[in-house]
Structure 1
Amino acid sequence: MSTREELVRAALRLVNTSGFGALSVRGVAREAGVGATTLRHYFPSQAALHLAVTTELVASLLTDLAIEDDTEDPAVRLYDCLLQFLPEPDQEISLRDNWFDLNCSALAPNAPATLRNVLKAGHEASVAAVRRWLSTLAAQGHLADEDVDDQAAHLLALINGLHLCAVIEPERYDLPREKRLLQWHVHQLLTR
């Protein structure tokens, strides 16, 4: 019998080979070599499957790094974690294009629910990661608990804006400038 983790790994293989559009209960069951009933035992809906797969994908891309190490500067720790959202120069074109393609496809008027669920799940997983980092800093006294949700929304809006600017004006994309902007915002957030 397959475990939940094995099914998520099969779903990730399917996404890697065929894209997010192929992420369906039947497709994952076929990839995992199990029946749809077995898959439904772990994922009662397609949305639950999308959430699990996208959350795993985001979790593999966004780690907590040294966010808990209170011997280090909290602004540096948060900045390092947030840098994971910005692609390095050798990755920037493909990651930026994939991000843009997913957003365009998922937000199109007749977009399949699969893509919208993936986009929503990715956003929720990103919000959870940033909230976790900010909650860690709040628990250490570097930020007020009541500011965590608002600041998470602010930081993700900034990151999404940086990605959108890179798509709109790729010739003006300047990773060092984007990093300085992110660093400035983190410093402002933690020095109030």
Structure 2
Amino acid sequence: MFGEDQAASLSVRSVAARAGVSMGSLRHHFPTQRALRDAVLETIYDAVTTDDGVIHDSSLPARDRLVQCLRLVLAPLLGDQARQAWIKFFEAFVEPEPTNARKASYAAIVDEGRRRVEHWLTVLDKEGVRVDGDLGQQATFLNTVLNGLWLDRAVPFDDSVLHSETATLYYAVDAVLKRPDA
């Protein structure tokens, strides 16, 4: 349902009907609409960024691990897939009136993306890799970079987008992680 309409409110009633389960059963697992939406978004992000082991692979430098994790977010979308996803996103959130339901749906997407990147930064921070500034603000910054790169993938203006994308990701990660000598 979320894939069909990213701005869908995912009401307990509509999800229960679509899944063929009772509302009571669904409410047992998801007592609020927000809990349901958050679980859906977490599942989507888990599917997109399947290899959490990357951030824990201490045999690689922290900056390389973080770039690889960020790349996982972008990986499923390239070329026509990225363009179609951007069009769906535009139609769901930019083009229509910003209703409270749309704002809440968009905020949930942003929150889950930030939560995922903040998790990666927290793992590095616990390893002793110094993050320059507030983890939440840095996660928001990295997600903003991902959004720009996603748009670059959707607008076919340059064949070397993957090369410039890698350079951009390293530049962004270097802005977030403190150098050991700093």
**Normalized against structure 1, the TM-score is what?**
0.75
How many equivalent residue pairs?
176
Shift of residue 61, structure 1, vs aligned partner: 0.8
User: Are 2:182 and 1:177 equivalent residues in the alignment?
Assistant: no
Shift of residue 182, structure 1, vs aligned partner: 0.8
Q: Comparing both structures, which one devotes a greater share of its residues to helix?
A: 1
**Normalized against structure 2, the TM-score is what?**
0.79
Q: Deviations over 1:52-92 (max 9, x none)?
A: 11121112112423212223211111111010122367x43
Alignment of 1:22-33 (within 5 A): 23-33=10-20
Q: Which amino acid aligns with 1:156?
A: N
In 1, distance between residues paired with 2:67 and 2:99?
A: 35
Q: Which amino acid aligns with 1:41?
A: H
Aligned counterpart, 1:147: 134
User: Are 2:56 and 1:68 equivalent residues in the alignment?
Assistant: yes
Aligned counterpart, 1:38: 25
In 1, distance between residues paired with 2:76 and 2:131?
A: 32
Q: Is there any run of 5+ residues in structure 1 with no aligned partner, and where?
A: 1-13
Percent of pairs with identical residues: 30
In 1, distance between residues paired with 2:73 and 2:131?
A: 24
Q: Deviations over 1:124-154 (max 9, x none)?
A: 1111111111111111111148532222121
Cα RMSD of the aligned pairs, angstroms, is 2.7
Select the structure with the greater relative contact order (CA < 8 A; seq sep ≥ 6): 2
In 1, distance between residues paired with 2:105 and 2:26?
A: 18
Q: Deviations over 1:20-74 (max 9, x none)?
A: 4483322221222222232223223323222211121112112423212223211
Aligned counterpart, 1:135: 122
